[in-house]
A and B are shown apart, each in its own frame.
Chain A
Amino acid sequence: MNEASPINPMVAASGRQVAAAHARPASDVPATGPVRTGGAAVGSAIGTPVLEVVHLEKVYGARGNVTRALEDVSFTVSRGEFVGIMGASGSGKSTLLNCVSTIDSATSGSVVVNGADVTRMKAAKLAKFRREQLGFIFQDSNLLDTLTARENIALPLTIARVPAREVSVRVEDVAMRLNISAVLDKYPYQMSGGQQQRVAAARALVTDPALIMADEPTGALDSKNARLLLESFETMNRQYQATVLMVTHDSFAASYTNRVLFIRDGKIFTELRRGDSPRRAFFDRIMEVVAMMGGEGSDAL
């Protein structure tokens, strides 16, 4: 592999069976185990880590009734990567996303985004951090229903006090790239679900964040709109060098990414790299892992 994670405590795990892999770091997965990963990741050319998750743990509940949602999870995402996280309901993938996105606080471990450890930030600083470094896309588009598409996209910029003239230019620009210029002056309830999601994507992208997080973005879309949205993500990733972290349980959606992390019972089960393989082939390999995770994991489909 042509990249090395600076924080890689689990190097020793390489060579073991994938099924037994424990919080396998992102970078040290050469062709081991039954599932081969591909060659070099697309985004890895840029190489600098944008997100480093180290020994992350999240425990819910108190004495006697403890649920370990995340157990010692570590991985790294480099700039320009498009990473998918897959897992069944209850596997801990949403908890992971919440912890990374600073919406939830971790029990232990650290989450470093662009060099800053978010687990140690105070609430006041978090808002600023979220505003400047992160972009969000959710299953329901989470657009503000009282604002037009244009205003929704502009909102992160106006919150950051970007001058009005610049706001207008950037909104038009991102809307054009994501092919939603025609709906800019419509209200969310006047748009289709797919349009809403692309507006949400534009809103996440417009601030040029270090990391865009998408939580089941295609969950509420039909296949055509899902495809359109995922193509938008590819556009964002290729043209803007945007780093995207997408949680999904849809193998089709995952096949658009460069790399997929599989989570089971709060631990990283394995990971797949797309390399240069066509999307179709990558999809088949994802399906294989999903099938192999089997058991309660089969509902990941």
Chain B
Amino acid sequence: MLCKLAWGNVRRAGKDYLVYLLTLTLAVTVFYAFNTISVQAGIVLEEEGLPELLGGIMSGLTMFLAVVMGFLMVYANGFIMKRRKKEFGLYQVLGMSRGQVSRIMALETAIVSGAALVLGIAAGVGISQLMTFFTASLFKTQIRDFHFFFSTQALMLTVGCLVAIFLVTLVFNLGVVRRAKVIDLMSASRKNESIKTRNPIVSAALFVLGVAMIGIAYYRLLRDGLPVDAAPSEYDAAFAQFAITTGIVVAGTILFFFGLSGSLLRALQSMRSLYWRGLNMFTMRQLAAKVNTVSFSMAVISMILFLAITSVTGGMSIANVMNTSVERSVIADYSRAVIYYGQDMLNEPGLAQEREQEGYPVAKLPEQPVDILVESAKNTVDPHGDAARPFDLASILGKHVQIDVYDSRPVGEELPSVSLNVLADAVDMPLPKGTNSSDANMMGLMVTSESAYNRYLDFRGMDRIDLGEDGYLILSDLGESVNKIYDADLSRGVTIELGGRTLRPAAESVNADASSLFNSSMGSNSGTVVVPDEVLDAQPLPLYASYFLGDYKPGLSYEETEGYVRQDRSWGDILNADGTESAIWGMEATRDQSYESTNSMNGLISYLAIYIGFVLVVACAAILTIQQLSAVADSGKNYRILSELGTSRREIMRSVLAQQAVFFIFPLVMGVAHALVALKVVIDIVALFGGLSIGGTVGVTCAIFLLCYGGYFLVTFLMSKGMVDDAIRARHGH
């Protein structure tokens, strides 16, 4: 009997339950589809471990988003409950116990959740198959062997989340039924939300204050940037400033929405011919009455949308930057670096003692660069196996080159001879965001010789350069924000003093394409000065690092090259002839490895951004939909009166559309405005590593989000249309 009643209720209250069902179904679909990511990644990726890592992150994230969804569902359910209080009261008047009423409701929720599960999983299975192709393109690989898949693990996780959401909603609902007095339930429909109108002057003041605060917060953010800039000592202070800015913008947004309706109303009222025209004043008054009660949630929604837009655009743009810079910074099939001990480290008191205790060789400043090809042969391939053998790079490499770079700070000096802050001062430019609080010592440039750089250019198949007697060049493969300083120095003829000579620029700008000294995904060379060999001879500088680049011999297979490099291998120490140590092994990166790590990083960031963004957008849109539908239901009587006064249905619906458009568009506009300002700052940071491009993927993602948001808007409007029609038709009883 209860089942029958519950089933009947769900069917009858279908319209109310539709939003609930729609949102829950979307949540299930997204939860399932994104949690099959590990299976999808398994299909498209060769690497071990990454799919599992992805899967782990996704399931953690899903739990978090399930909590968000849980709250949303409680909200949605509150809407249904509000509409049906009278019905539950009636059941009790007719003699049903509260337990039975609770059971009816639990059954109803279960029916809808079950339907959402079935629909959502069906959609999720379909979408996850399609997503495999998307995954492949995100990770820049091909699908190895596509087959239909179903992930029990994802299913279990989704069901788990759904059950959790169901239980939370149930607890809330039972609370409502338990607490409610029959008399309240019965008279629920009569309880009108009294319309509070604020003093228009107070409204206007709040509005202006809100706008001003938002403006101040924007200004502060643009001036201070993100606290990641700060030096460690100032980090706390910078973070406190950032927290203040965040607080101001949140408070400003809330005030903005609180004051909005009153100010807007007042402004429109002053335009008499516009206000006293058609349904304009009705629309305005409806808005004003509602905005008062929902202004806080509008502010929250605009902040959530802001978060979603910023995380998606920012995250995906970083991924994009990595994609473009990897093209420039991967220069050889194989690269390996050696890093030399510097004077600061060796001067550290107690170092020698410590090393002795630990049993390390005595450390001293390098005298000669290490020959990486020779030194590599001292590595042992497969050290613990039977076939232990030296790492013979020469056997797999064809042409190769080694470039040694020096620290521009001579031994015994306090400051580097060439540094970024001096170069920036020389052309009156501020240091780029992300560098400005760093220690001046850290900003010394590297130095290398003309002949070494020419050998490097030979290796890369580029034209040699000639610096003449006193020319210099700057190499840098970092982003535009640093390079524009170097460019300014070069083009304005800023001179530098080195080895007792005054050097002049030998080019107008930095050639970023001929600046990478090592395979990396984000650029590796923050500034290296190329000087004539004689300068380096005249001014001995301490060695900083040596970079080795080589291309595989043509005709060798993947196994013979990459396979050989990737084999288990012991690196060993780099010792001088006398047993002392002056250098350690740096990174080793092949072309394939660089691309793989970029692509996986890229894919990972994109996935997280889309997943978080999608769920947040859906949550916002669903809250707005529910609010609007409940508003339309509450105003049903008003629409009926309008119709009786002779307003055409079209005009009434236009007023409804205008009201809903305000509620959907204002938070979106506010969120986008916040996001644009925040992105401006994010872009400054990202620009350190390369130009930020809002590329195709970001566009597509934003389009999907807008479609989703707009879809909710459309559903809201269509459902409102039905509700208004019903209200107009149903003449109130006598």
Contact = CB atoms under 8 A, between A and B. Distances in A.
B279 A151 contact: no
B291 to A, nearest CB: 11
A189 B643 CA distance: 22
Interface string B268-282: 000011011111111
B638 interface: yes
A131 B195 contact: no
B646 A164 contact: no
A159 B273 contact: no
Interface stretch (A5-13, A55-63, A140-148, A272-280): A140-148
Nearest to A143: B641
Interface string B422-463: 000000000000000000000000000000000000000000
Interface string A193-224: 00000000001000000000001100000000
A145 B286 CA distance: 9
10 contacts: A130-B646, A136-B645, A144-B641, A158-B277, A160-B646, A164-B272, A164-B273, A203-B645, A215-B734, A216-B734
A47 B644 CA distance: 28
B100 interface: no
The contact size tier of chain B is 20 to 34
Contact of A159 (B645, B649, B732): B645
Contact of A156 (B197, B286, B288, B645): B645
A147 B275 CA distance: 13
B163 interface: no
A151 B281 contact: yes
A98 interface: yes
Contact of B195 (A146, A156, A203): A146
Nearest to A144: B638
A159 B280 CA distance: 9
B83 interface: no
B273 A94 contact: no
A189 B646 contact: no
Interface in B182-228: 192, 194-195, 197
A41 to B, nearest CB: 28
Nearest to A203: B645
A187 interface: yes
A291 interface: no
Given A130-B644, A145-B638, A158 B276 contact: yes
B167 interface: no
Contacts of A167: 276
B649 A127 contact: yes
State the 10 A-B residue pairs at the shortest beta-carbon distance, nearest first.
Answer: A131-B646, A130-B646, A164-B276, A127-B648, A146-B285, A146-B289, A164-B273, A164-B272, A142-B641, A167-B276
A191 to B, nearest CB: 13
A144 B282 CA distance: 9
A164 B275 CA distance: 8
A162 to B, nearest CB: 8
A151 B197 CA distance: 15
A64 interface: no
Given A155-B282, A164-B275, A127 B643 contact: yes
Interface string B44-80: 0000000000000000000000000000000000000
B731 interface: yes
B469 interface: no
B276 A189 contact: no
A117 interface: no
A156 B646 contact: yes
B278 A159 contact: yes
Nearest to B281: A151
Interface string A128-141: 11111010101110
A103 interface: yes
A168 B643 CA distance: 22
A223 to B, nearest CB: 20
Q: Name B's interface SS.
A: helix
Interface in B140-199: 192, 194-195, 197
A127 B646 contact: yes
Interface of A: 89, 94, 98, 101, 103-104, 123-124, 127-132, 134, 136, 138-140, 142-147, 151, 154-161, 163-165, 167-168, 187, 189, 203, 215-216
A144 B277 CA distance: 16
B278 A146 contact: no
Contacts of B466: none
Contacts of A130: 644-646
Contacts of A156: 645-646
A158 B646 contact: no
Given A130-B646, A159-B645, A98 B731 contact: yes
Contacts of B277: 158, 161, 164
Contacts of B647: 127, 131, 159
Given A101-B644, A103-B731, A145-B638, 9 more contacts: A104-B731, A129-B646, A140-B732, A144-B285, A145-B195, A147-B285, A158-B281, A163-B273, A187-B197
Contacts of B644: 101, 103, 130, 136, 142
Contacts of A146: 195, 282, 285-286, 288-289, 638
B648 A128 contact: yes
Of A157, A164, A168, most buried by chain B (CB within 10 Å of CB) is A164
Contacts of A139: 734
A290 B285 CA distance: 45
B281 A189 contact: no
B236 interface: no
B651 interface: yes
Contacts of A104: 731
Nearest to B646: A131
A159 B651 contact: yes
Contact of B282 (A101, A147, A168): A147
Interface string B645-670: 11111010000000000000000000
A45 to B, nearest CB: 29
A135 to B, nearest CB: 9
A94 B195 contact: no
Contacts of B280: 158
Contacts of B276: 154, 157-158, 164, 167-168
A130 to B, nearest CB: 4
A154 B197 CA distance: 20
A104 B643 CA distance: 13
Contacts of A168: 276
B286 A189 contact: no
A98 to B, nearest CB: 7
Contacts of B273: 163-164
A156 B278 CA distance: 9
B194 A189 contact: yes
Contacts of B281: 147, 151, 154-155, 158
